[in-house]
Structure 1
Amino acid sequence: MDKVRSTIRLLALFSIYFIYKAIMGVIDDNTNEVTIWSLITFVYVISLVIAYFVLTRWEKEQKI
């Protein structure tokens, strides 16, 4: 379980890259790039949160 949990944390670091790309789009005044990277970041973070909650619930069921 710790391996899966650490993998989720490692994948969360990609969100920093996505935020960086969105900021670069703002600096370059490219609204399409800002929109795309913002949407990717939003969907990616939501899916990681869901994966984390599923993992914790599955761990809880394994202990019972």
Structure 2
Amino acid sequence: MPTLYRFLTHDDTSEFCHKVTQALDKGWQLHGNPTYAFDQANGVMRCGQAVTKHVTAAYSPDMKLGDQ
């Protein structure tokens, strides 16, 4: 059973939380701790969270991971 991996990123706003929540609602699981970094070029904090999901379909680089 293949495991898919995604790294979700966004500015440190509620939209990031919604993005992660939507992934969890689709069956993705948190992988590791969230990350935070200051984006000096844009003057904002950025968040990141890795998520994984086991799937029955064979992995293909053409897969749209957000649709899984």
Q: Same fold (TM over 0.5)?
A: no
Higher relative contact order, chain-length normalized (CA < 8 Å, sep 6+): 2
Instruction: Please give the TM-score of this superposition, normalised by the length of structure 1.
Output: 0.32
Instruction: Please give the TM-score of this superposition, normalised by the length of structure 2.
Output: 0.31
Higher relative strand content: 2
Higher relative helix content: 1
Whose Rg is larger? Answer: 1
